[in-house]
Amino acid sequence: MARNKTIPRGRATILVAAALPALAATACASGSGSVKSDDNTIVIGMDQDTSGGAAAYASIVGKTIKDAVAQLNDKGGVGGKKLKLVVKSDDNDPTKAPTIVRQLISQGAQTVIMNSGGQSVMQVQSLLKQQKIPAIAPVNITPGIGDGPNSAYTYSLANPTDDFGKVYAEALKKGGFKRLALLKDDSASIEGMEKALMTPIKDAGIQVVATETAPVDANDVTAQVTRIKQAKPDAMLVAALGGQMEVLVHNTSHQLIPDVDRFSLASIGNQPSLWGQAKPGSLDKLVFVGSITDQNEKSVELEKFLTSKRGSEVSLTAYDAQAYDAVGMLAKAIEKAGPKVDGESINKGLEQVSGYPSSFGQKGYTLSFKQGKHSGTDGMCGLILMQFENAKPGRQWPTYQPACG
């Protein structure tokens, strides 16, 4: 099984990372036009970033959402009702997100999948509550989506940022790192999660000796990495949405500070198209928070399904697994909604989905929602520290792994 795993030892750099093809026939509609729901159809709206900073991972999520919806329709739909997916883009601009979600609702969406930046999800929380339409964010780790004061109609699947911070705090301590440099992008999503990520690390006694910022669309980070070199860190954390910016950071860091080990939250390990763009050696020993292991039979099943669906071998990512599970949990909620399926009944149904076998995380990991708990994670077992080897995710990091429970 192709796996996304990676976590380096020694000195370290930590990287924080976070256009869907039209669905055929009954599976998808895109752009304008009405696809109102009826007695035989349930409309799912999706706000997917197709051109902004989140597009690199949103395209992966969107493709798997399409495949998951098609799979359900091939089996007769949910409760005898077919699913239609309506897709629009907010371009990872939180100010556009409310307008996009209103448009999706006006086209009949009874539930929404938020496939953009985390701040876009935060911006639509009050609107979703007003309209009584639930939204699920498969991959966003921004604090407050599933566990905040405005999360009555928003749900998340991935472990939140503070879990990442706790894992890296322990990882840095176990690895003997004491001086950390932070290189982050200037996106709203990273800004929104920085405090939750860094607080556990600082509380663990790790000294942050440098903090640098680069544009999401940067084409040169030499100045930032040079200043980090002058601060003499023994570890480096890069907080970014992934994409070309993340590759650039690793290429430059490998050249200027080769002895400083690097860490990443998730992005680079979940974007296979980027691995070949890195210069030789730039990714080797990079540590990132992964969520895929062949010890989880649900991960193995999903990889086989996607490979059969797409006609070529798939390198399964956490983004794929979280997207697939988001659709699966929505299907369970629709089943629980009863004969009258609307936003309110789906929301109540989601709060009854418990112990759902997850396609990501360690063996036996589950996802659960309930009233007052809209963050699906059932513990730290959703996270696995992985290490790159030969320019692709390889083994689990032997120095430290998060404990379950």
pLDDT in tens, 96-116: 999 999 999 999 999 999 999
pLDDT in tens, 351-377: 999 999 999 999 999 999 999 999 999
pLDDT in tens, 312-347: 888 899 999 999 999 999 999 999 998 889 999 999
pLDDT in tens, 208-236: 999 999 999 999 999 999 999 999 999 99
CA distances 153 to 110, 202, 268, 333, 337, Å, are 12, 33, 30, 13, 15
Would you place residue 265 in the very low, low, confident or very high pLDDT band (cuts 50, 70, 90)? confident
Residue 24 pLDDT greater than 80, yes or no: no
Output the pLDDT for position 255. Answer: 97
Q: Is 56 helix (H, G, I), strand (E, B) or coil?
A: helix
Going through 171-218 in order, the beta strands assigned E by DSSP cover 179-185, 207-214
Residue 91 pLDDT greater than 60, yes or no: yes
How many alpha carbons lie under 13 Å from residue 77 in its C-beta half-sphere? Answer: 16
CA distance linking residue 73 with residue 40, whole number of Å: 12
Output the pLDDT for position 38. Answer: 66
- Mean pLDDT value across residues 5-28: 39
Burial call 39-61: b when 16+ CB within 10 Å, e when fewer: eebbbbbbbbbbebbbbbbbbbb
CA distance linking residue 356 with residue 14, whole number of Å: 31
Structural domains in the chain, CATH included, are 12-17+161-293+383-396 (3.40.50.2300), 25-159+297-307+316-378 (3.40.50.2300)
Considering the chain, what is the average pLDDT of its residues?
A: 90
Check: CB of residue 263 under 8 Å from CB of residue 13.
yes
H runs (alpha helix) in 75-187: 97-106, 118-123, 125-131, 161-174
Output the pLDDT for position 281. Answer: 95
Output the pLDDT for position 405. Answer: 61
How many alpha carbons lie under 13 Å from residue 274 in its C-beta half-sphere? Answer: 27
- Mean pLDDT value across residues 166-172: 96
- Mean pLDDT value across residues 9-13: 40
Output the pLDDT for position 403. Answer: 86
CA distance linking residue 386 with residue 7, whole number of Å: 4
How much of the chain exceeds pLDDT 90, in percent?
A: 80
Check: CB of residue 211 under 8 Å from CB of residue 184.
yes
CA distance linking residue 5 with residue 191, whole number of Å: 26
Would you place residue 261 in the very low, low, confident or very high pLDDT band (cuts 50, 70, 90)? very high
Would you place residue 268 in the very low, low, confident or very high pLDDT band (cuts 50, 70, 90)? confident
- Mean pLDDT value across residues 250-260: 97
Output the pLDDT for position 26. Answer: 39
CA distance linking residue 367 with residue 351, whole number of Å: 11
Burial call 348-385: b when 16+ CB within 10 Å, e when fewer: ebbbebeebebbbbbeebbbbbeeebbbbbbbbbbbbb
- Mean pLDDT value across residues 186-215: 95
Phi and psi at 257, nearest 5°, equal -135, 60
Q: What is the value of pTM for the model shown?
A: 0.85
CA distance linking residue 387 with residue 288, whole number of Å: 7
CA distances 385 to 152, 264, 293, 332, Å, are 31, 10, 11, 30
Output the pLDDT for position 282. Answer: 95
Check: CB of residue 125 under 8 Å from CB of residue 137.
no
Output the pLDDT for position 14. Answer: 41
Output the pLDDT for position 32. Answer: 39
pLDDT in tens, 46-85: 999 999 989 989 999 999 999 999 999 999 999 999 999 9
